């Protein structure tokens, strides 16, 4: 892990490395958001999407809460 700047991030690159079945019910908002962004931007790697989400968070005073999923998706898409 050569990402010390991301060590305090609740969704680090390691936190979603485990395989999640597409049939899993009650997916977290983050997992749903990642899935939608991967569908919209199939050319973007998972790490690139996470980096864009981190930038959205940074640009929003360090938080994502309070933003709608659609707003987060739109802002992330602009960065990607």
CA distance 59 to 53: 10
Instruction: Look at residue 32 and tell me whether its pLDDT is greater than 90.
Output: no
| Mean pLDDT (the chain, rounded) | 75
Query: What average pLDDT does the segment 1-27 reach?
Result: 44
* Tally of domains in the chain: 1
Does residue 62 lie within any of the structural domains?
Answer: yes
- CB of 10 within 8 A of CB of 21? no
Does residue 15 lie within any of the structural domains?
Answer: no
* Reported confidence tier of residue 53, pLDDT bands at 50, 70, 90: very high
Range of the domain at 62: 27-79
Angle, helices 29-40 vs 69-79, to 10°: value is: 40
Instruction: Look at residue 56 and tell me whether its pLDDT is greater than 60.
Output: yes
Does residue 21 lie within any of the structural domains?
Answer: no
Does residue 56 lie within any of the structural domains?
Answer: yes
């Amino acid at each position: 892990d050569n990402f010390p700047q991301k060590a305090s991030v609740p969704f680090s690159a390691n936190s979603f490395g485990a395989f999640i079945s597409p049939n899993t019910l009650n997916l977290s908002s983050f997992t749903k958001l990642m899935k939608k962004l991967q569908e919209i931007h199939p050319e973007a790697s998972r790490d690139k999407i996470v980096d864009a989400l981190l930038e959205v968070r940074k640009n929003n005073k360090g938080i994502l809460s309070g933003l709608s999923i659609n707003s987060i998706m739109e802002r992330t898409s602009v960065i990607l």
